[in-house]
Amino acid sequence: MPTFPALTSPRTLTSSEIAALRADFPILHREVNGRPLVYLDSGATSQKPRSVIEVEREYYERENAAVHRGAHTLAALATERFEDARATVARFVGAREDEIVWTSNATEALNLVAYAIGNATAGRGGPAAERFRLASGDEIVVTEMEHHANLVPWQELAARTGAVLRFIPISADGTLRMDEAARLITSRTRILAFTHVSNVLGVINPVQELVALARSVGALTVLDACQSAPHLPLDLAALDVDFAAFSGHKMLGPTGIGVLFGRSELLNALPPFLTGGSMITTVTMDSAEYLPSPHRFEAGTQRVSQAIALASAVDYLDHIGIDRIAQHEATLGQHLVVGLNEIPRVTVLGPGIGQARVGLASFDVEGVHSHDIGQFLDDRSIAVRVGHHCTQPLHRRLGITSSTRASAYLYTTEDEVNDFLNALSDATKFFGVNA
């Protein structure tokens, strides 16, 4: 059984508690370039506690078998663990078990929805799928801050169906122009796809306001929850979204596992995206009939060990308390913004000091490429993300080609943020811009 660090405070994480839980993460104790690792790239992928690593190993050692396919003991045990994992993740995000579909990652989950709607538009799915069918002149609305994973699939769907893709612009501080959202979401809007938290700006979007706009015109809503599920309390039923996607590897879980949430009546009406074994009821040489959700979207051999390990990661987050994690990261996010604003020639992207944001901050150093900043920081054993963060249109809107991002998580300390800020100040001096 996994063990968890002892916690004392019902509110925020204390420094002693953070030190205790850091002991659960083996990689945090290694050195890079002769210095202790400072890992500030959790927005890209999180590190894993020992309990998650051990759960996956133990599954392979004791219970490994194909799920839903055998009557022997191991098959029954594996299937039970697999479905128990689904129930655990469902509870964590306020969903029903039949509303949770396993995918390889969030990108696949978003593509699943887009391509299944395309299949419905092509006439698949029968009368139940009629609600999803798009026609020329119908509109899909996204935002200017979307990750490519929640933009390119909708571009492809628009190209295949004749629908028109529109986007909600951002304001100078990185927040969505809600006046423009109200103007753009009309009776022609069939789908509204948007991120809960921007992976570049750190801004938390007003989900309920956006859903209300979509509901008023009968549009479907698709939420990218990749940067919210690991960091904020998430109740998908309360948010009233139709679909949502998030990845396991960003929330202490393994790679190779993602989650698609969909309201059960919608999932059961959607035609499948991938077809083959395990998602059918009857197959003849001429046709096939499909299982209800979620299994109709889980063709082929499944991500069994990964799902079980993700459930262990959710147990870990539950034990710490996602509300306490959110408060800890909000504090670190403000510390990042305040510190970055004190360094000359550094521009923070997104909300300013005192405005709500999660525990990440992206920034531009005037006259210095983000890759050069990243290499300087890496020499100091500080891991950050550099590049366009799969948001080229957003960076283009901001007038830059790339940025550097520091992102925290539950195991990040204030001292690590200070180490990063001091190293960045040294970097600006090294490159001659902090004069």
pLDDT tens-place string over residues 176-218 = 999 999 999 999 999 999 999 999 999 999 999 999 999 999 9
Query: How is residue 8 written in tokens?
Result: 């004392």
- Say whether both 338 and 391 belong to one domain: yes
Is residue 376 over pLDDT 80?
A: yes
- With respect to residue 405, please indicate whether it lies within any of the assigned structural domains: yes
Q: Same domain for 177 and 268?
A: yes
Is 435 a member of any domain?
Answer: no
- What is the pLDDT averaged over residues 27-38? 97
pLDDT in tens, 322-347: 999 999 999 999 999 999 999 999 99
Q: Same domain, yes or no, for 297 and 337?
A: no
Same-domain pairing of 169 and 300: yes
> What pLDDT score does 247 carry?
98
Same domain for 242 and 135: yes
Work out the pLDDT band at 421, boundaries 50, 70, 90.
very high
Q: Are 296 and 407 contained in the same domain?
A: no
Please say if the pLDDT value at position 5 is more than 70. Answer: no
Phi, psi of 141 (to 5 degrees): -115, 130
Q: Could you tell me if 273 and 154 lie in one domain? A: yes
Say what the pLDDT of residue 8 is.
46
- Indicate whether 10 pLDDT > 60: no
Q: How many domains does the chain have?
A: 2
Q: How far apart are CA 234 and CA 232, in angstroms?
A: 6
Report the CATH number that the domain containing residue 301 is assigned in CATH.
3.40.640.10
Q: Are 223 and 243 in contact (CB under 8 A)?
A: yes
338 and 286 in a common domain: no
> How much is the pTM?
0.95
Note whether residue 57 is domain-resident: no
In a domain, 185, yes or no: yes
Q: Say yes or no: 101 and 231 in one domain.
A: yes
- 267-281: pLDDT as tens digits: 999 999 899 988 999
302-314: pLDDT as tens digits = 999 999 999 999 9
In a domain, 3, yes or no: no
159-180: pLDDT as tens digits: 999 999 999 999 999 999 999 9
Residue-wise DSSP of 162-218: T-EEEEE-B-TTS-B-HHHHHHH--TTEEEEEEESB-TTT--B--HHHHHHHHHHHT
For the chain, the residue count is 435
Q: Which of 178, 182, 390, 433 is catalytic?
A: 390
Asked if residue 202 and residue 309 are part of one domain, the reply reads yes
Last residue of a domain, one of 291, 318, 345: 318
274 and 329 in a common domain? no
In a domain, 411, yes or no: yes
Report the chain's mean pLDDT, rounded to a whole number.
95
Segment 99-125, tens digit of pLDDT:
999 999 999 999 999 999 999 999 999
pLDDT at 11: 72
Residue 9 has pLDDT above 90, yes or no: no
Print the domain residue range for 270: 63-318
Domain end among 284, 318, 352: 318
* 9, part of any domain: no
Q: What pLDDT was estimated at residue 85?
A: 98
- What is the rounded average pLDDT of the residues 61-76? 93
Sign of the dihedral through C-alpha 21, 23, 29, 35: positive
Same domain? 40 vs 113: no
- Say which CATH number the domain at 367 has: 3.90.1150.10
Instruction: Give yes or no: 226 in active site.
Output: no
Domain boundary among 277, 295, 318: 318
